[in-house]
Amino acid sequence: MTQHRREIIKGAALTATGIVLGAISPVNSQKTVAQEQRGDRPQPTTSRLLAGKVALVTGAARGIGRAIAIDFARNGANVALLDIADPTGGMPISGYRLANERELEDTVAAVRALGVKALKLKVDVRDHKAMSEAAALTAQELGGIDIAVANAGIAIWTTIEGSNQQQWRDTIDVNINGVFNTIQAVIPHMKARQGGRIITISSIGGRQGVVGNGAYGTTKWAVIGLTKSAAMELGPSNITVNSIAPGPVNTPLYRSQGQLRSTGVKSFEEQDKLVGAMLPLKVKPALDPQDIADTATFLASDHARFISGEVIDVALGYNTIYTA
């Protein structure tokens, strides 16, 4: 083998590794305290997989939505960040709170700091008209829509027997209708671009029964059905539709008193011990939001252009217990 050919092969191998892992600059190799708390990753040098793209992300103020918005920006996308930015959203939320406006502004600033455009939109995904207007404004201000992530969701912990109608309706309205509204709002803009990527966020709770949180589990099953149906309908327009089903993730929802009560434990240490026993991968007791963002960026990129109607479990191997 010639020296020239060896160099080509070596370069290809390094490039492939960089796409998957990124190349972390030594200057940014240590996380700050704030990054540890939010699950942010130190800023890596990437191949900017989404350069020139426009993304719309719901529930973008914190948690998984924040991580996805920032990772999209890091990879070159301009981002519209949508969030209700209201601690209760007018719903019977208890055991945790929804994001506030300061958190949304902080995420918008983090996206802009990466040298791309960011559009802040306070929007309730339950409002069909508002979502249509938000998509139109995104297309107008940022030049179109190539990627949409339907991430916004809530949990209201209660048994099926003990649930009231309002709790049931609110969970369905955000977690199912909100996803539907997001998908429908972006379709015409993606068709105008002759293609696009839609990503929904389900859960391992959408792949099995859920005790003490039946409404949430029901909605996450529905998200998968909606994802697959949309993938079939939108495929001829070169629009892919896929879902991510996270396992335990260090978010305000998972690390909440409501979640502890629903599983019958009293501390996050007990939570880690209980859940960790069911996880084949023992590298950590729960994922960080960035671990979900990695998969979202892959699905949004051309590397996944032939993947549609798929549900990807990012769950530390928890999905091995499924029967199919």
For residue 322, indicate whether it is catalytic: no
Of 96, 216, 254, 318, which is the active-site residue?
216
Q: What is the CB neighbour count within 10 angstroms for residue 117?
A: 15
Q: Which residues does 271 contact at the CB level (< 8 Å), separation at least 6?
A: 259, 260, 263, 265
Backbone dihedral region for residue 78 (phi beyond 0: left; psi -120 to 50: alpha; all else: beta):
beta
Identify whether the C-beta of residue 239 lies closer than 8 Å to the C-beta of residue 195: yes
Burial of residue 16 (CB within 10 Å: 0-12, 13-18, 19+) is exposed
Residue 120 β-bridge partners: 81
DSSP 161-194: TT--HHHHHHHHIIIIIHHHHHHHHHHHHHHHTT
DSSP single-letter state for residue 88: S
In angstroms, rounded to a whole number, what is the distance separating the alpha carbons of residues 226 and 152?
15
Q: How far apart are CA 83 and CA 60, in angstroms?
A: 6
Q: How far apart are CA 20 and CA 33, in angstroms?
A: 25
d(CA 221, CA 208): 8
Candidates 121, 239, 221, 216; CA nearest to 170 is: 216
Which residue in this structure is represented by tokens 């209708």? Answer: 177
Which residues are identified as catalytic? Answer: 216
